[in-house]
Amino acid sequence: MADEVKKEAPANFKVTIDNITIEVAPGTSILNAARKIGGDVTPPAMCYYSKLQGSGGKCRTCLVEVAAGSTADPRPMPKLVASCRTNVMDGMIVKNITSERVQDARAGVVEFLLLNHPLDCPICDQAGECHLQDLGYEHGKEGTRYEFKRRTFEKEDIGPYIQLHMTRCILCYRCTYVADQLTDNRVHGILDRGDHAEISTYISKSIDNDFSGNMIDVCPVGALTDKTFRFKNRVWFTKPVDAHRDCENEKCCGKVTLWQRGDDVLRVTSRKDEWGEVQSYDGKPGWICNTCRFDKKKASDWVIEGPTSISRHSVISQGHYVGLQKPKETIAEVMGGREPKLLMDIHSISDVNSVEIASLPGPATSKTFKNVNGE
């Protein structure tokens, strides 16, 4: 019998990204090496998702400059490379925020992604959690050079829980990987090619299987939204708390974030890490099933662990009116004893403001207000 050959683990590679040197295992992508350093050095990623095999290489937001290929061959790479799809070499030197070429190219990619994407953040459920919104703030231009008709689509209900706004989709393919890798049966995909490409269900089949809700979590924009949460609240007015339950579905990790307003649970999502990806537990991605996500909307369904830690740079951390002081006077007091004839009070909804309409001319009967439906 031949002697057993002991395989030694290959030595780590040294890579320098924006002047910071780290060691990583061979086979690590530049993006994942940068994630080990963290902070601004890490390129943005709109299509790569570490928990989805085969993802990446579609959006080009993660482009970086390779100033030296390796110690053995220190020539620079002539073109910018997609950091999610390029592996590090020993002695590689990479530039991200220290490269003007990269910043310029990224601004171009953002302009390209926004060619057809509506700027409807004020009414989009993803606002505050949208990676394209963040990129737009960092690299977007004030104006547009696009003169042609934009692609528009009708909103489409794809299944009982998900609505598709194809106009917002950036064709990152993440949702198709979720369907392929998590659910029994993929019934949606990217149809047509080039400027005609769109996400849709095949022959109008609806997406209805136990893990389909994870598509909402991986969608980097507001193209796939949770129908049970749509327009219920702005995400920065909600309070995220970590919670868990013993889920009977063995593929479901049962660990979630509850997005609460008072005691009401408005939304249930998987827990996200600092890159906006679902967190891993015991080396496995923490995907959650549709029962946990859509059917367990009472705080009593869950064991609450405590507040979710949210980056202080996120808009979600900004919108809590800590130490809110309500005025002591009643309205009659500030109006010199008069009671308002009509009062629209939205305190209970937003805790932000109230609108007093007491001084409109004409008799009280003429002060009628219509909602958007004219009712």
Which chain residues interact with ligand FES by CB under 6 A?
A: 45-48, 56-62, 82, 84
Asked if residue 199 binds ligand SF4 (CB under 6 A), the reply is yes
Backbone angles phi, psi at 241, to 5 degrees: -130, 145
**Strand 63-68 and strand 13-17: pairing?**
unpaired
In the set 224, 252, 256, 292, which binds ligand SF4 (CB under 6 A)?
A: 224
Please identify, using beta-carbon distances, which residue of 44 and 220 lies nearer to ligand SF4.
Answer: 220
In the set 63, 89, 221, 256, which binds ligand SF4 (CB under 6 A)?
A: 221
**Strand 13-17 and strand 92-95: pairing?**
parallel
Question: In 10 A of CB 140, how many CB atoms?
Answer: 17
Smallest gap, in angstroms, from Cβ of residue 216 to ligand SF4? 9
Please identify, using beta-carbon distances, which residue of 38 and 160 lies nearer to ligand SF4.
Answer: 160
Give which of ligand SF4, ligand FES, none residue 82 binds (C-beta under 5 to 8 Å, depending on kind): ligand FES
Smallest gap, in angstroms, from Cβ of residue 50 to ligand FES? 11
Give which of ligand FES, ligand SF4, none residue 170 binds (C-beta under 5 to 8 Å, depending on kind): ligand SF4
Residues 6 or more apart whose CB falls under 8 angstroms from that of 166 comprise 153, 156, 198, 199, 200, 223
Give which of ligand SF4, ligand FES, none residue 199 binds (C-beta under 5 to 8 Å, depending on kind): ligand SF4
Please identify, using beta-carbon distances, which residue of 168 and 293 lies nearer to ligand FES.
Answer: 168
Q: Is 114 in contact with 136 (CB distance < 8 Å)?
A: yes
Asked if residue 173 binds ligand SF4 (CB under 6 A), the reply is yes
Asked if residue 219 binds ligand SF4 (CB under 6 A), the reply is yes
Please identify, using beta-carbon distances, which residue of 66 and 218 lies nearer to ligand SF4.
Answer: 218
Smallest gap, in angstroms, from Cβ of residue 221 to ligand SF4? 5
Please identify, using beta-carbon distances, which residue of 107 and 335 lies nearer to ligand FES.
Answer: 107
Q: Is 288 in contact with 214 (CB distance < 8 Å)?
A: yes
Please identify, using beta-carbon distances, which residue of 46 and 166 lies nearer to ligand FES.
Answer: 46
Give which of ligand SF4, ligand FES, none residue 58 binds (C-beta under 5 to 8 Å, depending on kind): ligand FES
Residues that bind ligand SF4 (CB under 6 A): 169-175, 199, 218-221, 223-224
